Chains A and B, each alone.
Chain A
Amino acid sequence: MKMISCIVAAVLAGIALGWMLPSLMNPEVLDQVITYVLAVMLFGVGISIGYNRRELVKIKAVGWRIILVPVAIAGGSLLGASIASMFLDMSLKEVLVVGAGFGWYSLSSVLITQLYSAELGAIAFLANVFRELMAFVLIPFLAIHIGKIVAIAPGGATTMDSTLPIIAKMTDTPTAMIAFVSGLILTTMVPFLIPLLLAIY
């Protein structure tokens, strides 16, 4: 929870800065610089992802059908998000991209702001923060009333870090392990899926 408040504080600080100095964002040079900073960050994210292949050995411990967990979570998230385009004044592409954050608000908002628009970036930030907050509430409920494995779903990509402690507390060790691997796979998907979805149309 400490992390989420730091992140919200960073965005609020940026909003205040942009509000006071609206011309700060205008220069195209800054935009270019941010793209390079983004590339450096993704290089770092890539190193973590590549390094994590060692963690994937854990899949063997739980069996290969565990792959179905992140696949179902990803498919269900995108399907759910696509329904949103029927209610909202947003294109299918836009809602899918927001849904494809799987709760990883920092990366998805940064990517979408830079690759698409500040507006969709803001929606992605809020939507994925909401998803993580909902996960904190839903995980205990689902674990008790529906089933341990189903409790992994709302956390999305966050089940390898921020929501893992709650899953571990509300379920058992094998489920926590599945949650970790599922979160790892979803985390790996996000930085690929968002640019791809934005590039497709």
Chain B
Amino acid sequence: MEIVIISLLAGCLLGASNIITEKWIGHLDKIVMAIVFVLLIAVGIGIGSNRELIGNLTLLGYKAMVIAGLSTIGSVFALWFVVLKVDFFQHHKKEEEQL
């Protein structure tokens, strides 16, 4: 657990420093993507090698659907509420008036 947070923070510091240039970031994204694919295969292996999990895939899908649906709806309503209270383009309108 610790190693995960530490490497993430170390990466943030390195990325925020001026050592990293745009050319690097392009390569980096490709490398990260490749590692993500390897890890996704590992996620699959974790599911596939667990017979109990495979048998329960429809139940897992149902749970995933409920959580996905509720969290999406929650985010829509929360943002809708905020939009009713705050005018996000006020700043722009002021600028336009000044012009």
A interface vs B, CB < 8 Å? 6-7, 10-26, 34-53, 62-63, 65-66, 68-69, 72-81, 83-84, 87-88, 90, 95, 98-99, 106-107, 109-111, 113-115, 118-119, 121-128, 130-131, 134-135, 138, 142, 146-147, 149-150, 152-154, 156, 174, 178, 191-192, 195, 198-199
Contact = CB atoms under 8 A, between A and B. Distances in A.
A110 B53 contact: no
Given A41-B39, A78-B71, A118-B53, A87 B11 contact: no
B45 interface: yes
A73 B75 contact: yes
Contacts of A41: 32, 35-36, 39
A174 B28 CA distance: 29
A50 B16 contact: yes
A87 B66 contact: yes
A156 B46 contact: no
Given A39-B6, A47-B12, A47-B25, 19 more contacts: A14-B43, A41-B32, A44-B11, A46-B7, A46-B13, A50-B16, A72-B75, A73-B79, A76-B79, A80-B70, A84-B67, A90-B63, A107-B36, A111-B4, A115-B1, A119-B60, A134-B68, A150-B79, A153-B72
A80 B9 contact: no
Given A40-B7, A77-B75, A78-B71, A122 B16 contact: no
A110 B47 CA distance: 12
B4 A14 contact: no
7 contacts: A35-B3, A48-B25, A49-B11, A50-B14, A77-B78, A99-B67, A121-B47
Given A40-B35, A153-B79, A126 B45 contact: no
A75 B77 CA distance: 10
Interface of B: 1, 3-17, 20, 25, 28-29, 31-32, 35-51, 53-54, 56-57, 60-61, 63-83, 86, 88-92
Q: Which of B16, B25, B61, B82 has the most CB of A within 10 A?
A: B82
Contact of A44 (B1, B4, B28, B67): B28
A127 B35 contact: no
